[in-house]
Amino acid sequence: MAGHIETIDFRGLPALRLSTAAGASAVLTLYGAQLVSWMPARSQERLYLSEQAICDGRSPIRGGVPVCFPQFAAEGGLPRHGFARTMSWSVIEQRAGDDFALATLALSDDSDTRAHWPHRFNLELTAAIEDGRLDIELAVHNRGQASFAFAAALHTYLRVTEVETCQLEGLYGFEYRDALDGNTLRRESGDVLRVESALDRIYHNVSRPLLLRDDGGALGIHAQGFPDVVVWNPWEDGLTRCTDMAPGDFRRMLCVEAAAVRERIDLPPEQSWVGRQTLVAL
């Protein structure tokens, strides 16, 4: 069968399932424009999604690729990570060929968003799969008459076999802000990042692709437009705050996020900004 896209019910939420002829697939919920599954062709699931994720159409979904906009974490007065991940988006495009499938969802300001954040915007989230590759693109358009500034992130939860044995390469030499140590600035000194305890770091101006080595398969991770990379694992202690994750699940995930956080993006009227994260199964 050729590549195709179907509308499905995902744990009670409307969603699109994208498939390619060779067997790659992805699931994108309209709620939050959140990818909740990505399976490259001839491979296994590469995104972590909590079995206990709350899919009630009001709460953030724990796992997949939440879209953070226009705020990151609690760095501002909006709900954590902004409002885009807890709103319903609309489908504006879906296309499939033999070796690809893509869908674009959109979200515009309305009276709800303007009550929190008084700006006129249009967001588009495009998820595109090829056999071994996933591209996630976020486009922000300012349709108002004044500039606005925003933070954004694709908060990608990668599924790993065992977080203590996986290795993240490519961050050597980059400065990072350590959110678990009073936002102290440090420089990465290891060739390889190993996760042996809780980690919450924002690496700045990361100009190289990253490589995640895991027993379940290696993954190339590349971003364009997003200058920062956030690496997060809550470990055991942090799970007390993540009540929608099973106790041992911190071992099954590592967030490697494409982000624009250190400096917010200033967007003049009628201008657009685009950021993309690409994952390649190796």
- By the criterion CB under 6 A, which residues form the site for ligand TA6? 60, 73, 80-81, 155, 179, 200, 230, 232, 242, 255, 257
**Residue 147 C-beta: closest distance to ligand TA6, Å:** 26
Q: Is residue 99 within 8 Å of 130, Cβ to Cβ?
A: yes
The radius of gyration of the chain's CA atoms, rounded to the nearest angstrom, is 18
Q: Which is closer to ligand TA6, CB of 60 or CB of 216? A: 60
**Residue 269 C-beta: closest distance to ligand TA6, Å:** 30
Q: Which is closer to ligand TA6, CB of 105 or CB of 230? A: 230
**Residue 153 C-beta: closest distance to ligand TA6, Å:** 7
Q: Which is closer to ligand TA6, CB of 141 or CB of 155? A: 155
**Residue 275 C-beta: closest distance to ligand TA6, Å:** 15
Q: Which is closer to ligand TA6, CB of 153 or CB of 267? A: 153
Q: Which is closer to ligand TA6, CB of 39 or CB of 229? A: 229
Q: Which is closer to ligand TA6, CB of 242 or CB of 274? A: 242
